Structure 1
Amino acid sequence: MMASLGAQITALQAGQVDVTAPILQTALQQQGFGHAGLTFSIADSAAGYAALSVLPLDCEVVTAEIKINLIAPAKGNRLVAQGRVIKPGKRLCVVTAEVFAEEDARRTLIAVAQGTMVPVPL
């Protein structure tokens, strides 16, 4: 999914991950803004990778649930989702992500997500 959206990890530290994606023509909605599916996908990925960054190397994560508030149109050249761990755990990790639209030097908060990731031993 990340590859098809042109998304990539652009910042990584324990408990925090940024995922950046261009707003491609194929990811626009009817008014010409970035589609909510793009916003949601990179928010989920950033939050999931943030959870993964604080877990043992023999774990993966899956999303148990995630909720998003879309608060402004995704207008710009690219989106940046900043995922962060709120509470790590052995059974559940509570995570959040803020998504920003960037156009030239302007950055606008467009969405806030919160969810729960489940560690899965490999």
Structure 2
Amino acid sequence: MSPEAVQRIHDSFAAQSMMETLGARIEAVAQGNVRSAAPILPGARQQQGHGHAGLTFSLGDTAAGYAALTVLPETVEVVTAEIKINLLAPARGDRLVAVGKVIKPGRRLCVVTSEVFAEADGKASLIAILQGTMVPVPR
């Protein structure tokens, strides 16, 4: 990807106030693939002290959406049409990492997936898998 295309992804991500609130950042951008991460902050925990499923979902959805954006023209953004999540384990640890991937790109629909990992003591554990559809919309 060109440096301008990568910058476009970063700029769009930075415009999301939700990701700013969660402390999320993009860590890597490649064609059809985006990795983002967020700390499990005190305000994003559920009643047992683990990362809330809402944090897991938000981070996974966003990584998948930006993965889709990497394969689309500069004239569009994306919105989620539908996405499902399978929660596999509690979000125990210090931060979550989401890896979004494009499964099938298209001009009208992009099928995407993401895996979300919880990191604790230097180890990453898969805690969720998401699959969904992104729709390109004019910028």
Q: Scaled by the length of structure 1, what TM-score is found?
A: 0.99
Q: State the AA in 2 paired with 1:64.
A: A
In structure 1, which of residues 54, 78, 84 is the aligned counterpart of residue 95 of structure 2? 78
Runs of 4+ in 1 over 3 A off after TM superposition: none
Cα RMSD between the aligned structures? 0.5
The aligned amino acid for 2:28 is A
Which residue identity lines up with residue 133 of structure 2 in the other structure?
T
Aligned-residue offset at 1:121: 2.1
Matches within 5 A, 1:80-119: 80-119=97-136
Sequence identity (%): 70
Superposition deviation, residue 104 in structure 1: 1.8
Q: How does 1:1-122 map to 2 (within 5 A)?
A: 1-122=18-139
User: Counterparts of 2:106 and 2:113 in 1: how far apart (Å)?
Assistant: 14
User: Partner of 1:84: helix, strand, or coil?
Assistant: strand
Q: Normalised by the size of structure 2, how large is the TM-score?
A: 0.87
Any stretches of 5+ residues in structure 1 without a counterpart?
Answer: none
Which is bigger in relative contact order (C-alpha 8 A, separation at least 6)? 1
Distance 1:51 1:58 in 2: 13
| Greater percentage in helix | 2
Structure 2: gaps spanning 5 or more residues:
1-17
Q: Which has the higher strand share?
A: 1
Q: Alignment partner of 1:94: what SS? A: strand
Aligned residues: 122
Q: State the distance in 2 between where 1:107 and 1:52 align.
A: 26
Distance 1:37 1:105 in 2: 23
CA deviation digits over 1:35-56, x for unaligned, max 9? 0000000000000000001100
